[in-house]
Amino acid sequence: MHKTAVKKVVMEGVLDANDSLAKANREDFDRAGNFVVNMMSSPGAGKTALLEKTLEHLRGDPRLGVLEGDVQTTLDADRLARFHVPIIQVNTDSGFGGECHLDANMVRSGISELPLSDIDVLVIENVGNLVCPAEFKVGEDARVMVYSITEGEEKPLKYPLMFRSADLVIVNKIDLLEHLDFDLEQFLGNLDDVNPGVPRILASARAGEGIEEWCGWLRKKSGSTEPAT
Partner 1 sequence: MHELSIAEAIVAVAGRQADGRRVTKVHVKVGHLRQVVPSALSFSFGLVAEGTPVEAADLDLEEVPATGWCRRCEAESRLENFPLLCKTCGGSKLEILTGEELMVEYLEMEEETADA
Q: Which residues contact 226 (CB under 8 A, 6 or more apart)?
A: 216, 219
Residue from 8, 84, 225, 228 touching partner 1 (CB under 8 A): that is 8
Q: Contact letters (x/-) for partner 1, 44-83, by CB under 8 A? A: ----------------------------------------
Q: Which residues contact 131 (CB under 8 A, 6 or more apart)?
A: 100, 159, 161, 162
Asked if residue 134 binds partner 1 (CB under 8 A), the reply is yes
Identify the CA nearest to 54 among candidates 8, 85, 19.
85
**DSSP-assigned beta bridge partners for residue 88:** 67
Distance of alpha carbon 220 from alpha carbon 161, whole angstroms = 26
Asked if residue 118 binds partner 1 (CB under 8 A), the reply is no
**Region class of 19: left (phi > 0), else alpha (psi between -120 and 50), else beta:** alpha
Asked if residue 194 binds partner 1 (CB under 8 A), the reply is yes
Residue from 29, 136, 147, 217 touching partner 1 (CB under 8 A): that is 136
CB atoms within 10 A of CB 135: 15
Asked if residue 2 binds partner 1 (CB under 8 A), the reply is yes
Residue from 93, 193, 212, 226 touching partner 1 (CB under 8 A): that is 193
Closest CB to partner 1 among residues 127, 215: 127
The phi and psi torsions of 62 (rounded to 5 degrees) equal: -75, 165
Residue from 10, 181, 185, 229 touching partner 1 (CB under 8 A): that is 10
Asked if residue 84 binds partner 1 (CB under 8 A), the reply is no
Query: Which part of the chain contacts partner 1 (CB under 8 A), choosing from 30-38, 95-103, 204-212, 221-229?
Result: 95-103
- The count of residues in the chain is 229
Give the residues lining the site for partner 1 (CB under 8 A).
Answer: 1-18, 95-97, 100-101, 131-132, 134-136, 156-157, 159-161, 192-194, 196
